[in-house]
Structure 1
Amino acid sequence: MKSKVLKVVKIGGKLIENEAKFTEFLKDFVALEGPKILVHGGGNLATEIAGKLGYKTQMFEGRRITDADSIKVITMVYGGLINKNIVAKLQALENNAVGLCGADGLSIVSEKRPVKEVDFGFVGDVKKVNANFIDSILEQNITPVFSAISCTEEGVLLNTNGDSVAAEITQAMSSIYETELYFCFEKKGVLADAQNDDSVIEEIDREKYEELLAEKIISDGMLPKLHNCFQALEHGVKQIFLGDFKLLKKESVYTKISN
């Protein structure tokens, strides 16, 4: 029987950019008991820096199209600037951490997304996660901090949706731990009305999800997020929560996803 609960937390780029909220979030993250993993985004900063370098950012259904120039920027921003800043802040809060991407220990192996209606370029879909390698870090009481970059078996770095990375890690670690997945972003949860931040849908099961899709209430970046949620529940993840920077305290309203 699995005795430990592992919490995997994904934090969105907009929260990282808000210093006050990000600082509060990190304190709450450090306060979590037991083993934990942090996965971070950073798309807005990558877009900003790419723009300054003269590169145009293209999106399709909430996912970034990544050409040869963009993957260089993403590697620098996600794997370098953002990742190491987070690790440094966790160390300052006396939470021993190590910054990783999928190439480290071949922890997140993916394959280049095949070209169908859209060529996503250097974008990866996760193929497998090295749960034993990640567990070896957790066993040393070190917190892994993953950027949203994976790696092919041939050694090619690929931009990978951060929500997918978090979901795939949580699923893989379910073979060793009881797992919980938290998506912390700029909203209080999944909204019934995108223009009303207080219209949080507090619980979504599969039937409710299908209703929301049919009514086109869910769109853009929330589509892949919820798709990942239900896929994770089908592959061993016990509980999933979505909310803002206060989510880890569970003191305010949030969304819980269930089968």
Structure 2
Amino acid sequence: MIVVKLGGTEGLDFSAICADAARLVACGQKLIFVHGGSAEANALGDALGKPPKFITSPSGYTSRYTSRETLEVFLMAVNGKVNSLLTEQLRSLGVNAFGLSGLDGGLMMAARKDSIQSVENGKRKIIRDDYTGKIDSVNTGLLNALLDLDLLPVIAPVAVSTKGEALNVDADRAAAMLAAALRAETLILLTAVPGLLAEFPDESTLIQKLCRAQLPAALEMAQGRMKKKVLGAQEALEGGTARVIIADGRIPQPITAALGGAGTLIQ
């Protein structure tokens, strides 16, 4: 079992990713897709006069501020557009894709955060109206039922709270939780760089391999969105996933390339 997370930023070649997935599925490989959608959500928010706002935690992690209003924009862009178009593209290639989010069937249950801390201009702020959460559980029965039907689940990063609220969850960490819950052999995090870079954005400084003991230092070194990918890798490995690969989603056959040694291997 391979879980593939497709980054939500611009630059990834979704056509190449889907074509590669179709080849692998035709050879009998079981896959699960988890996708982001930041670029589409940002564009829709701008078009609706509701531009996105991002916050940085005291520990340096950046995330989307998600009020109820911006949550609805996020759902329209990510569940409505990105998920549907990815599912359509896979089906056009003969893949029996099944689009859903963590809301559906309680696939991903999460606890809504009562408050979060943000650092702005060196000062800490408490935010209480944020619709984000951390995944507590995964409905593996639902996923296994889909896989048993030879479906390829295409999952949007939205979870559901115990009160039935939709919650924005980080897609990298969602993919990690899914991979761990299913005891997947491999989690591949496709992004718009070749992998983890020692000196971002210099792509010649690619780190080809990390062991678990090196992850705390890698978390300190990683910048921007890469910090969440390294954190997701750590969580997946701790949960039972055998290996994580952070790899380039801009190249031909990106999944096959990652399995063949491209990117940053963490195990």
TM over 0.5: yes
Kindly state the Cα deviation for residue 116 of structure 1 after the two structures are TM-superposed.
4.0
Q: Is the alpha carbon distance of 1:234 and 1:212 closer, same or farther for their aligned partners in structure 2, counting shifts above 3 Å?
A: closer
SS in 2 for 1:125: strand
Give the conservation status (yes or no) of the 8 Å contact 1:11–1:183.
yes
Question: How far off is 1:221 after superposition?
Answer: 0.9
CA distance in 2, matches of 1:85, 1:169: 22
Query: Could you tell me how far apart the structure 2 residues matched to 1:248 and 1:218 are?
Result: 23
Which of these residues, 4, 7, 20, is aligned with residue 2 of structure 2?
A: 7
Determine whether 1:227 maps to 2:231: yes
1:249 aligns with 2:244: no
Q: What's the offset of the Cα at 1:252?
A: 6.5
> Do 1:179 and 1:238's aligned partners in 2 also have CA atoms closer than 8 Å?
yes
Identity percentage of aligned residues: 24
Q: TM-score, normalised by structure 1?
A: 0.89
2:173 and 2:235 in contact (8 A); partners too: no
Q: Does 1:189 align with 2:189?
A: no
**Aligned residues of 1:180 and 1:237 also touching (Cα < 8 A):** yes
Q: 1:172: which partner in 2?
A: 181
1:3 is matched with none
In the alignment, structure 2 segments of 5+ residues that lack a partner are: 119-126
Deviation at 1:205, TM superposition (A): 1.8
Q: Please say if 1:110 is aligned against 2:105.
A: no
- Cα RMSD, aligned residues only: 1.7
Q: One-letter code of the match for 1:106? A: G
Q: Is the 8 A contact 1:200 1:253 kept in 2?
A: no
Match of 2:151 among 135, 138, 142: 142
- How many residue pairs get aligned? The number is 245
Q: Which residue of 1 aligns with 2:30?
A: 35
Mapped to 2, the partners of 1:166 and 1:29 lie a distance apart of: 17
Residue in structure 1 matching 2:45, options 46, 50, 55: 50
Question: Could you list the runs of 5+ residues in structure 1 that have no partner in the other structure?
Answer: 1-5
CA contact (8 A) 2:195 2:264 kept: yes
Change (3 A) 1:95 1:202: same
Deviation of 1:239 (Å): 1.2
| TM-score scaled by length of structure 2 | 0.87
Whichever residue aligns with residue 190 of structure 1, its letter is L
Q: What are the superposed Cα offsets for residues 29-65 of structure 1, whole Å, 9 maximum, x if unpaired? A: 1222421100001101101111121213222222111
- Secondary structure at 2:14 match in 1: helix
1:257 CA drift (Å): 0.7
